[in-house]
Structure formats: C-alpha cells, structure tokens
Chains A and B, each alone.
Chain A
Amino acid sequence: MDVSVQFKKGVLELCVLVLIQRKDQYGYELAQSISKHIEVAEGALYPLLRRLVNDNYCTTYLQESTEGPPRKYYQITPLGNSYLTRLILEWEGFVKDVSNLIEEGTEHE
C-alpha cells in the first residue's frame, strides 16, 4: 500500500499535465479524471497545481459557472508542453528499464 502511494505521488505531475494538455480543466474535474484511473489523495493535487503554475508549466483563468462558485481552470503553457514531452519520454524509458531489470532477475532464477 505504502509503496504504491509513493509511486502514485511520483507520477501525479505527469498525469495532471497529460490531462490538462487534452483540455483545460478545473481542480475538481481534474481530481475526478485522475481518480477514474488511479486512487490518489485528491488533496495533493492543489499544492501540485500551485507548483506547476509557479514553474510556468501552466496558467489559470477563472470562468463563471451557472452553478456554484467560479471555476479556476488550468491551461498548459508551451513551456509545460515541452516539459511534458520530456517527462513522457523519461517515463517510458524508465518503465522499460525497470521491466528489463525485473525480467533479467527472473531469467537468472
């Protein structure tokens, strides 16, 4: 359990960027989109989003909604886009390396 929590934390940034690259989303929507795929403490999203904004990987804009408070939408920046491309490449390489390592281990046994 604890191990997978650490895994998820590590890739949360990648998942968030992928999701907002597809379309601008607001915090709650984003939380739902992620929870659909992986179980994660949704509260961790907001500090992460703040950091992404601070690092200029995404920007925010407010949009009035017919129901409830105005929604803060997150939009990816060009910088965020290139960062995401790099992240995905790294992620794929990493997953491949780890898989290779595990397979290599079972071959020797």
Chain B
Amino acid sequence: MNKQQFLFIMQNHLTSITEVERNELLNDYESHFTYGMQNGKTEEQIAHELGDPFELVREILGDRFTIQDPHTSTQTTVSLTRNIFIYIGHFFINIVIVPLLIGLWSGWVGLCAGSIGLLLSPLLLVPEYFINDTFSVAKGFAAVTAMGFGLWMTIAVMFTFKGLATISRSYLNWNINITKGGSIK
C-alpha cells in the first residue's frame, strides 16, 4: 500500500467526525509520510509501520461513539452491501418458507372443518327425521361415534394450533429482526 491508498482509505472512512478533526488527522498522517521519506523510507514501509488503515479508522471512530453516545455503536456498523445480501437471501428464504407456512395453516383449517363436521354430525339426524320421517338407531349410534372422533380431533386441532402459532410467531420475529438490521441468529 502506498501513501495515496493509505490516505484515501482514511479520508473515505472517517466521515462521521468533523471536517476539522478529519483534516487534522489526515495532515498528521501526511506529514508522517513526508518525514519518513526524508529518513529514506519507502511509502510502503511507512504505511506498513502505521498499521492497517481500516483498523485505525475503526479505532478512531470507536473512540467517537463511546464519547458521543454509547448506545448507537452497535447499530451504525451495518453496511449497505451487507444489507443488500441479507435482503436477497431473505427473499429466497421467504419464497420457500411462506408457502410452506400457508400450506400448514391450510391443513390446519381442514382439520378444523373435519372436527366441526364430526361434532355436528348428530344434528344431521334432525332434518332426516323431519324429511324422511324415519329414525335409524344404527345411524344414531354412528353419529355418536363420529362425535367421539370429533372430540378427539378437537384436541389435535388445539395442539396443532399451538405448534403452528409458535412457529409462525418466531418466524415473524426473525423477519422483523433481520429487516431492522439485527444479527442473524
């Protein structure tokens, strides 16, 4: 890395400090290069001695954040490129998971309908009695049995509802977390 590159990186990344401060620091580094070269060093040598410019920027800005507002330091480091990749990846994950969740919920609705149907099956004997004027004891027993199955299924419906709700809720929270720029857990 030569002097130009070093100063370029510093200049471009020290954006959140005041112009006066930035210029002062850049001047310091520039003079450092000048003095070093007077002492017979190459630009590369001096840049190497100064250290990694990105690391320096991080240190300088790190000081800044703790002085101004200790709470902002975790939020401000999310870069644009990182966000773009997160959104792209996110999009594909959603393409798979959202239909899957919809499918699961549809299955649950079906289960609901089935259990309601079974639970209400004895009621069907009432219209049959009025329309056909007959009452079949066998059908009556069948209806009661069906109702028993219906009760069982209601338990299943309740359990699956809890499970699905938990899955959906955590997925939603994860989504919100990602979109807000939080870390991937």
Contacts and interface: CB of A to CB of B under 8 A. Distances in A.
B125 interface: no
B51 A41 contact: yes
Interface in B1-47: 21, 24-25, 28-29, 31-32, 34-36, 38
B28 A72 contact: yes
Interface stretch (A16-24, A46-54, A81-89, A95-103): A46-54
Contact of A69 (B34, B52, B60): B34
B59 interface: yes
A43 B36 contact: no
A49 B53 CA distance: 17
B29 A44 contact: no
Given A41-B50, A47-B60, A27 B55 contact: no
Contacts of B63: 47, 51
The dominant DSSP class at the B interface is: helix
Contact of B31 (A42, A50, A69): A69
Nearest to B33: A28
A35 B29 CA distance: 16
Interface in B48-69: 49-53, 55-56, 59-60, 63
Contacts of A31: 32, 49
Contacts of B55: 41
Contact of B29 (A43, A67, A69): A43
Contacts of A42: 32, 49-51
A68 interface: yes
B50 A43 contact: yes
B35 A50 contact: no
Contacts of A46: 25, 28-29, 32
Contact of B38 (A27, A47, A67, A72): A67
Most chain B beta-carbon contacts within 10 A, residue among A43, A51, A67, A69: A43
Interface of A: 27-28, 31, 35, 41-44, 46-47, 49-51, 67-69, 71-72
20 contacts: A27-B28, A27-B31, A27-B32, A28-B32, A28-B36, A31-B32, A41-B51, A41-B52, A42-B50, A42-B51, A43-B50, A44-B56, A44-B59, A50-B25, A68-B31, A68-B38, A69-B31, A71-B31, A72-B28, A72-B31
